[in-house]
């Protein structure tokens, strides 16, 4: 019965080792593979015999080898019993595979190192997702920077505003975390009453928060276009504001130039119209004078013509 139980235990171990959803390997203290399971072979793309002819150092990324070896030496020295780290293995096809490696050392009865048990989890999908997220975030940040747009949130309980856009210094805001009262302090005095009127109404849900105003920093004026929406509780009380701020200083400068150009053009049109009217009046006066001066000679000629006819 004892032998049968031992055989069942060994069978279960074999099944667990070979059919595990993670890579499992046994390695000697020098790092050579003693035994590998099917999942580990799938992760790194080698056949079992190919992998057993190598050491883990042979397929470890050069940049990851030193940290791995340092932890291994600490484990052999008895400073730790296990260690875990993220590292890269070279796939049989040449590309690098990210894995989560967890290692434990098994010792002989006399305390000498016997072999390592390594559990290898494939992180390729997670790393790809992280890279895609990082790329997306970089693109979003770049797009926000190009459009001079920054996202922010305001905690209604604490009355503080924090920036959600890293490096949003292009918005000309002095800090990434500040109080709502600090924000009111840098708004142009002429625009401040509009903000003070609209913000409480928006917080109560009586009006959308969409406004343009000037901020004054170091004696310079900047135009901001601001929109915000509110997260509310079941009673409708505002808990948090989520908003975007766009620097529209350049647009306002162009608009002002257009306004000045239009005003100048209108003035020139008025002046030209006045000049044309004066010229028309002079022409009309001249025409009247010519007609008046020619009337008497024509009357005399007409009289002589009548006399000749008679």
**Minimum mean pLDDT range among 125-139, 156-170, 240-254:** 156-170
Question: Which residues are CB-contacts of 193 (< 8 A; sequence separation ≥ 6)?
Answer: none
- Cβ contacts of 92 within 8 Å, gap of 6 or more: 44, 45, 46, 50
- State the average pLDDT over residues 267-286: 82
pLDDT in tens, 40-57: 999 999 999 998 998 999
Alpha helices, DSSP H, located in 187-248:
192-203
Residue 187 is given by DSSP the state B
Per-residue pLDDT averaged across 79-91, rounded?
A: 93
Local confidence band at 9 (pLDDT 50, 70, 90 cut-offs): low
pLDDT digits (tens, 9 = 90+) for 16-38: 678 788 899 999 998 899 999 99
Residue 90 has pLDDT above 90, yes or no: yes
pLDDT recorded at residue 50: 92
> In whole numbers, what is the pLDDT of the chain averaged over residues?
85
Contact 30, 54 (CB under 8 A): no
> Over 90: is that where the pLDDT of 272 sits?
no
Return the C-alpha torsion angle 11, 26, 45, 58, nearest 10: -170
Report the distance separating Cα 162 and Cα 238, nearest Å: 17
Band (pLDDT 50/70/90 cuts) for residue 66 is very high
* 266 confidence band (pLDDT: 50, 70, 90): confident
Distances (CA, A) of 36 to 25, 57, 104, 176: 4, 15, 15, 51
pLDDT tens-digit profile of 72-82? Answer: 999 999 999 89
Pairing of strands 33-36, 149-155: unpaired
What's the pLDDT band for 174 if we cut at 50, 70, 90?
A: low
Residue 250 φ then ψ, to 5°: -65, -40
């Amino acid at each position: 019965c004892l032998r049968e139980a031992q055989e069942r235990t060994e069978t279960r171990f074999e099944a667990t080792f070979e059919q595990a959803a993670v890579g499992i390997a046994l390695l000697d203290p020098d790092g050579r593979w003693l035994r590998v399971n099917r999942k580990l072979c799938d992760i790194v793309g080698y056949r079992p015999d190919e992998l057993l002819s190598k050491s883990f150092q042979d397929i470890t990324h050069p940049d990851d080898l030193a940290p791995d070896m340092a932890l291994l030496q600490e484990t052999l020295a008895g400073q730790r019993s296990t260690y875990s780290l993220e590292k890269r293995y070279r796939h049989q096809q040449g590309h690098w595979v990210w894995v989560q490696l967890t290692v434990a050392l098994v010792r002989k009865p006399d305390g000498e190192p016997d072999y390592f048990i390594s559990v290898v989890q494939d992180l390729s999908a997670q790393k790809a997702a992280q890279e895609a997220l990082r790329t997306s975030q970089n693109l979003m940040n770049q797009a926000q920077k190009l459009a001079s747009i920054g996202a922010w949130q305001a905690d209604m309980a604490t009355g503080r505003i924090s920036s959600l856009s890293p490096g949003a210094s292009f918005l000309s805001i002095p800090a990434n975390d500040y109080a709502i009262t600090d924000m009111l302090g840098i708004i142009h005095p002429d625009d401040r009453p509009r903000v003070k009127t609209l913000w409480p109404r928006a917080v109560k849900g009586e009006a959308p928060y969409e406004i343009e105003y000037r901020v004054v920093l170091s004696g310079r004026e900047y135009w901001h276009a601001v929109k915000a929406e509110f997260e509310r509780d079941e009673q409708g009380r505002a808990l948090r504001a989520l908003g975007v701020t766009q620097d529209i200083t350049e647009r306002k400068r162009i608009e002002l130039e257009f306004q000045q150009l239009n005003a100048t053009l209108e003035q020139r049109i008025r002046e030209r119209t006045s000049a044309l009217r004066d010229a028309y009046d002079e022409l009309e006066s001249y025409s009247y004078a010519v007609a008046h001066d020619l009337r008497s000679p024509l009357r005399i000629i007409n009289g002589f013509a009548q006399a000749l006819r008679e």
